[in-house]
């Protein structure tokens, strides 16, 4: 961890670069810490001098240029903050949404060295052919290569981390953490947004992206989840040629999903593809709780069979059962106008502090839900709907939920891809079968039977363990009694501890049976329809 002066110098350099590109350090509409206003005042002369050069620039281009100049970690930070309009304001968030993670490629010599050091052996022993980079981003670049296994020749895509990228990233992350601590210390209103936790989340995301074995594992996990799903697949992983710094996967010969004209020319139905993209994403998020969190047009290809193939699994999202149920209930409540129920779910999930009134929160949900009714499906955006929900977080002191914000960001991207293929796509018709399947599987009879089975399984395990626990408790109690009979002299503290131990032993006789009874009762209640939620 760098010292405070070093971190201050790093942040000062970033501030100067932003000023040189005409980027404001204080987002409009956001209450910023006083230190940012001070920094803005100090860089005013630079912005005045540079103003003639930027007056005709697109603001989005200025932001992108500044972040690109600052280096790979700032590009990744910009992409990450694009999902956090609550932190940087909606205008800046929209600007960052257009940030492209593209950098000049590093040399073939460096790529060869990285692969040979990571996989061992010579490049020629690993690949029959190894071509120049076909794409380069802030963390890694991709090459097309050819391999032969068991006499079969096939093409692979080889992703290689940039040289020394870890050191550069973690140095900048250190300065981000330093800035977050200063903000939390000197700007109390920002504490609700947990800037330190935001940086920690960015660090975890970076850790995952910089270990390409984890990306390979994500591809493998999704492949298992979607086995048998129609119209969507992921590439196969070449584990033999994959390591922490190198990832090899099946090369996909497909049409970029953004090339609508070519898709039509090749006989593919854009409307059907749009439906597939949207339903696949919802199925992954709602059914599996594991989704591709960067499913933009550049990461989707359509193969000769018309199957959508996703690539680049560096950013993945997860939703627990609680979050998935929360989303299903919220959407159902808004669609059916049961705002009270939707509000209750927020409180049940612990997203709204209990000092707020359910009725008041239900009123806020009504303000979001009522404009939906009376409008055509084409006019309603589920992504916008989620965005409006999250906009109420500050009003109701709701803590930031990174997994839900990542979902909303991903939904914006996927919705954009789907509607670029079919502008008249009915989002609700597309989502209905997926939501219905989830509700039936988790909230209907089959879901309750599953919960009952899990409860019964727990009860069975506890009942199976009960004799052993009772034997241990009995042995402890007998040993204590024997010690008392033999006249061993104990000090007062030891006597007290032994008495407590005896008490725990007596409790140990009853506890397994109490837990088992509660588990069985819960299972019966679930089957009988008495589940409290």
Active-site entry in 86, 172, 174, 294: 294
Q: At what angle do helices 59-70 and 72-81 cross, to 10 degrees?
A: 140
Contact 444, 332 (CB under 8 A): no
3-state secondary structure 197-252: HHHHHHHHHHHHHCCHHHHHHHHHHHHHHCCCCCCEECCCECHHHCCCCEEEEECC
State phi, psi for 301 to the nearest 5 degrees.
Answer: -125, 155
CA pair distance 488, 494, nearest whole angstrom: 11
Q: Across the strands, what pairs with 310?
A: 300
Q: Is 125 a catalytic residue?
A: no
CA pair distance 16, 29, nearest whole angstrom: 22
CA pair distance 449, 520, nearest whole angstrom: 13
- DSSP-derived 3-state class of residue 79: helix
CA pair distance 162, 141, nearest whole angstrom: 7
CA separation (Å) from 32 to 184, 207, 401?
Answer: 11, 29, 21
CA pair distance 316, 284, nearest whole angstrom: 11
What is residue 315's DSSP assignment? S
Instruction: Name which of 298, 269, 293, 297 is nearest 281 in CA terms.
Output: 293
Residues 6+ apart with CB under 8 A from 403: 317, 318, 319, 320, 323
Catalytic residues: 294
């Amino acid at each position: 961890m760098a010292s405070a002066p070093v971190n201050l110098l790093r942040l000062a350099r970033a501030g100067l670069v932003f000023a040189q590109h005409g980027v404001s350090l204080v987002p409009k509409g956001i209450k910023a810490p006083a230190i940012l206003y001070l920094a803005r005042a100090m860089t005013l002369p630079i912005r005045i001098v540079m103003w003639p050069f930027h007056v005709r620039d697109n603001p989005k281009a200025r932001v992108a240029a500044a972040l690109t100049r600052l280096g790979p970690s700032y590009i990744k930070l910009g992409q990450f903050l694009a999902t956090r309009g609550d932190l940087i304001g909606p205008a800046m968030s929209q600007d960052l949404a257009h940030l492209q993670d593209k950098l000049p490629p590093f040399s073939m010599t460096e790529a060869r060295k990285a692969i040979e050091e990571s996989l061992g052996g010579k490049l020629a022993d690993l690949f029959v052919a190894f071509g120049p980079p076909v794409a380069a981003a802030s963390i890694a670049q991709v090459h097309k290569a050819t391999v032969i296994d068991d006499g079969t020749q096939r093409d692979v895509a080889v992703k290689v981390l940039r040289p020394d990228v870890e050191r550069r990233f973690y140095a900048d992350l250190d300065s981000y953490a330093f800035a977050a601590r200063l903000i939390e210390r000197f700007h109390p209103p920002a504490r609700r947004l947990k800037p330190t936790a935001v940086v920690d989340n960015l660090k975890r995301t970076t850790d995952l992206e910089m270990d390409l074995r984890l990306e390979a594992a994500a591809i493998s996990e999704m492949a298992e989840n979607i086995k048998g799903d129609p119209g969507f697949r992921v590439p196969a992983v070449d584990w033999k040629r994959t390591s922490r710094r190198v990832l090899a996967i099946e090369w996909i010969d497909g049409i970029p999903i953004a090339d609508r004209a070519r898709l039509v020319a090749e006989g593919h139905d854009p409307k059907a593809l749009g439906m597939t993209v949207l339903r696949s994403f919802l199925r992954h998020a709602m059914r599996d709780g594991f989704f591709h969190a960067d499913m933009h047009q550049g990461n989707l290809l359509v193969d000769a069979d018309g199957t959508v193939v996703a690539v680049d699994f560096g950013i993945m999202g997860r939703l627990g059962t609680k979050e998935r149920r929360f989303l299903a209930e919220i959407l159902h409540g808004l669609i059916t106008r049961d705002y009270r129920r939707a509000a209750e779910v927020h409180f049940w999930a612990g997203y709204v502090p209990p000092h707020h009134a359910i009725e008041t929160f239900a009123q806020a949900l009504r303000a979001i839900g009522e404009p939906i009714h009376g409008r055509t499906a084409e006019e309603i955006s589920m992504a916008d709907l989620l965005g409006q929900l999250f906009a109420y977080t500050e009003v109701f002191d709701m803590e930031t939920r990174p997994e839900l914000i990542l979902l909303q960001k991903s939904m914006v991207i996927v919705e954009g891809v789907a509607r670029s293929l079919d502008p008249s796509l009915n989002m609700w018709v597309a989502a209905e079968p997926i939501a219905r399947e989830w509700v039936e599987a988790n909230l209907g009879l089959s879901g309750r039977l599953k919960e009952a089975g899990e409860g019964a399984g727990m009860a069975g395990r506890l009942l199976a363990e009960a004799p052993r626990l009772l034997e241990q408790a009995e042995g402890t109690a007998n040993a204590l009694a024997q010690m008392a009979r033999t006249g061993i002299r104990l000090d007062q503290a030891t006597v007290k501890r032994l008495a407590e131990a005896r008490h725990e032993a007596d409790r140990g006789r009853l506890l397994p049976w109490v837990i088992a009874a509660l588990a069985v009762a819960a299972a019966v209640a679930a089957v009988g329809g008495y589940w409290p939620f």
